[in-house]
Amino acid sequence: MKPIKKIKVVVAGPFAAGKTQFINTVSDIKTVKTERKITAEGEKNVKEYTTVAMDFGKIRIDDEHELYLFGTPGQSRFDFMWEILGEGALGIIILVDSTDPSTFHEARRIINFFQSRFPVSMVVGVNKQDLPNAWPPEDVSTALDIGEDEDIPVLGLSALNKEDVKRVLLTLLELVKKELTG
């Protein structure tokens, strides 16, 4: 039996941006999680468990290939994991919680982190568009200072919606295709 070749896409973003959900929505397998109960006071109010190493989901392409989706931990104290997970990635998806503007600056810092270390294709997913008080993608893009010539598409989505998640993934892959053929 031939060994399976793995192609990697990284899903990063601030705490509680919806990375685990994003992977879960599109993965063939139940997402492998490395979650721990939250103890930090401020974070406990947002959710009960958080990713501490990575989340992992996959999509079988054919008998020889699988697309791996790695979700990074959101908190910057785990940024050593970002470095490890970013290595060899085909592309990077940055998720932002559009209902929580207090995380926008952190999202930009994460974009800068990956841009400086891994110059690969990147897409920003403005998540939780199904919730009230969600900022529109174009305003989040302005708040994140994403310049027109940065070549980073910014798309609105709900990570609960499979079609939305597929659209974000396909946008990233089309960008990779452009890089490959351009």
Query: Which residue ranges make up the site for another protein (CB under 8 A)?
Result: 7, 26, 59-62, 65, 67, 88, 90-91, 101-102, 104-105, 108-109, 112, 115, 119-121, 133-136, 138-139, 142-143, 145, 147, 149-150, 162, 166, 169-170, 173-174, 176-177, 179-181
Smallest gap from Cβ 80 to another protein, in A, equals 17
Question: Given CA atoms 72, 73, 74, 78 in this order, what sign does their dihedral have?
Answer: negative
Q: Report residue 69 CA to chain centroid gap.
A: 9
Smallest gap from Cβ 160 to another protein, in A, equals 15
Nearer to another protein, 52 or 143 (CB): 143
Task: Name 9's Cβ contacts closer than 8 Å, sequence gap at least 6.
Answer: 67, 68, 69, 70, 89, 90, 91, 92, 93, 169, 172
Smallest gap from Cβ 37 to another protein, in A, equals 25
Smallest gap from Cβ 155 to another protein, in A, equals 15
* Whole-number Å distance between alpha carbons of 154 and 123: 6
* Whole-number Å distance between alpha carbons of 131 and 76: 26
Nearer to another protein, 44 or 65 (CB): 65
